């Protein structure tokens, strides 16, 4: 075989190798031997806002946008007690606070007007910070002109929590919209290290 023929054979071999490498990097093979599209591994950690947005999509799907109406978002609470327990500081308890804050954002993104009833009448100034939010009712203005409440309950499960959200008409107490979403525990901590059962934290080896 002359030099030119060897050179051509080398070029063809390299080109074929490059094609095979490209195919193997973009496809995997399942148990049947068929090529399947690659799937990106997305960590569930830090995706509370993603699940909140999906919950809001379902909740507001059939609610007509009207700028004349005012909404107030209140805390999402455990379904068994209907109140927050400061003694249970595991992730699913803190989920209630995150949901109420997240729903304010989601409602605003969709054009609904929310009234923040925790805003004080004056700026509160301390030695190290300024604040306009408080839970001291003596510093807050009376709630008025609110047409709907956005609230919900949290039902703890072994692998996370079921969140039931609803929009309630203030005067009639009619539920005008509702939605349900499962929030996996892994969005807070790694599953293999921390889980919660019955309000208790369980740690396992990684």
The predicted model scores a pTM of 0.65
Using alpha carbons, list the distances in angstroms from residue 195 to 15, 80, 141, 157, 164. 51, 20, 41, 10, 21
Instruction: List pLDDT tens digits, range 151-182.
Output: 999 998 888 889 999 999 999 999 999 999 99
Closest by Cα among 173, 59, 75, 144 to 107: 59
Flag the least confident range among 34-48, 71-85, 86-100, 107-121.
34-48
């Amino acid at each position: 075989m002359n030099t030119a023929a060897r050179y051509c054979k080398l070029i063809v071999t390299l080109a074929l190798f490059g094609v095979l490498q490209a195919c193997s990097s973009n496809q995997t093979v399942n148990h049947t031997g068929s090529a399947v599209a690659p799937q990106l591994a997305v960590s569930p950690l830090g995706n509370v806002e993603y699940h909140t947005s999906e919950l809001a999509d379902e909740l507001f799907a059939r609610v007509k946008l009207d700028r004349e109406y005012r909404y107030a978002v209140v805390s999402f609470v455990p379904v068994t007690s209907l109140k927050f327990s400061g003694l249970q500081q595991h992730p699913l308890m803190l989920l209630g606070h995150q949901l109420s804050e997240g729903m304010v954002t989601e409602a605003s993104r969709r054009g609904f007007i929310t009234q923040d009833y925790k805003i004080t009448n004056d700026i509160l100034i301390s030695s190290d910070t300024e604040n306009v939010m408080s839970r001291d009712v003596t510093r807050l203005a009376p709630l008025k002109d609110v047409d709907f409440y956005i609230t919900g309950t949290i039902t703890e499960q072994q692998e996370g929590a079921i969140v039931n959200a609803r929009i309630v008409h203030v005067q009639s107490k009619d539920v005008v919209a509702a939605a349900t979403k499962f929030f996996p525990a892994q969005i807070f901590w790694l599953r293999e290290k921390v889980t919660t059962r019955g309000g208790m934290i369980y740690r396992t080896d990684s």
